[in-house]
Copies of this chain bind each other. A is one copy, B any other.
Amino acid sequence: MKAELIAVGTEILLGEITDTNTPFIARELANLGIDVYFQSTVGDNPERLEDTIKLAAKRSDLVILSGGLGPTEDDLTKQTVASFLHRELVTDRTAMAKIERYFSETQRTMTENNRLQAMYLKGAKPLSNRTGFAVGIFDQEIQGPDFLLLPGPPSELEPMMMEQVLPLLKKTYLGDHVLRSRVLRFFGIGESQLTTELADLIATQSNPTIAPYAKQNEVTLRLTAWAQTDTDAQKKLNDCENRIQALVGKFFYGYGEHNSLAQVVATHLIKQQLTIAVVEGYTAGRFSTALDEFSDEKNVFDGGFILATNTEKKQSLIGEFNVSASKSSVEKMANCLKKKTKSDLSIVISHASTEKVSSGEQVGSVWIAISDKNENISAKKYNFSTIRPATKQRIVLNALQQLNDILK
């Protein structure tokens, strides 16, 4: 089973955007045991696209194209595949109804190109697009390779892949044994440290396989097991996970390919019916945004303050709060905030203070205090190098972890 990936889009050829779809699809196929021998990128040009499809069709069993399903004149992927296969395009009624509804709601004018987004190859399987408008297409050919067409925006491609394509590929190509994956997520440990801790396990383990991936500020492990039944596969995964948790469990925070510390914390708050109020100094709204992503409409978030950079001026406005980065001040703030807002919990993230250490380098520190529903206060200081970027997002993750330790 050889798959080949083709990314379509002049903006990729020009380096205007980085194609994250190809590595994403490649990783998911690798998990299924489907080999990818070639990846290529071609612009929005029908001749060169057709040449690329011809070459792929000669050497591969499954040709996966991403991009070029949108409503602009540049978007030619499905027309080109249809012409290559000598097939016509037909309309998916459900997809068309969704597009029509959107244009009627927003009172915009719909063009013929917009209708094209709802069309698919006659005889193929249309894949609905939960987060966008262009349908995906899975086409099984009796002679020649199968074709899979996916929309270009990752926000559309990734859910379509996880929810529809992977089950379809498993059913189509993997027959009657089952394949089960489990993703474990870790924060506070780097990829190299994690793989060092698990080196023996990773080396000796073949079913399940253990694949580590470094993500922004966190690491995930994907375990993939093959078995005759779901029960057997789950048992293999459980045994393997137990061995991993025994070694690095203290850095583990949750399961799933699409999960995050913010989501785990928001879910705890929702389930335990707790509210939280926030004061943010250094992070200037990022913590509130992170929680809001997952607690929207759920009344979890009890409002917050973002502290001004020019501190004294703001003292009068927010009463007893002050923003200096010290243990006692963040603890006092957390108590005061909880009382004023009558929230179940409160969290205070101070402004950063920087200092020179003995080596002469500058380091920064931020205090985070959380007051929980039993009036217990946890306050911690986080240090960071001022030369390392993306620190604000990392402080948000530390705050979420500190909160998660209280809630879990």
Q: Which residues of A contact B (CB under 8 A)?
A: 11-20, 22-30, 36-43, 45, 48, 52, 55, 71-72, 98, 101-102, 104-106, 111, 113, 131, 155, 191-192, 195, 211, 213-215, 275, 277-278, 280, 284-289, 291-292, 295-310, 313-314, 317-318, 340-342, 357, 359, 361, 363, 383-385, 387-390, 392
Give 18 pairs: A residue, B residue, CB < 8 Å, sorted on A: A11-B213, A15-B23, A15-B24, A16-B30, A19-B23, A22-B41, A55-B55, A111-B192, A275-B310, A278-B306, A284-B289, A285-B304, A301-B309, A302-B309, A303-B306, A303-B314, A304-B305, A313-B341
Residues of the B chain whose Cβ atoms lie less than 8 Å from the Cβ of A214? 11
Does the CB pair A15–B28 fall under 8 Å? Answer: yes
Question: Inside 8 A of A318's CB, which chain B residues have their CB?
Answer: 303
Given A12-B23, A15-B29, A39-B40, list of 18 further CB < 8 A pairs?
Answer: A17-B23, A18-B18, A18-B23, A37-B45, A39-B42, A131-B389, A285-B287, A285-B288, A285-B304, A299-B310, A300-B309, A301-B308, A301-B309, A302-B314, A303-B314, A304-B305, A308-B341, A317-B340
Contact B27 A16 (CB under 8 A): yes
Contacting residues, chain B, for A24 (C-beta < 8 A):
15
Distance in angstroms from A301 CB to nearest chain B CB is: 6
Name which residue of chain B comes closest to A359, CB basis: B104
Give the number of copies in the complex: 2
Residue of B at shortest CB range from A16? B213
Task: From known contacts A285-B285, A302-B310, A309-B299, infer whether A15 and B40 are also in contact, taking CB-CB under 8 Å.
Answer: no
Complexed CA–CA distance, A208 and B291 (Å)? 46
Chain B: which residue is nearest A24 at the CB level?
A: B15
Distance of A102 from chain B, by nearest CB (Å):
6
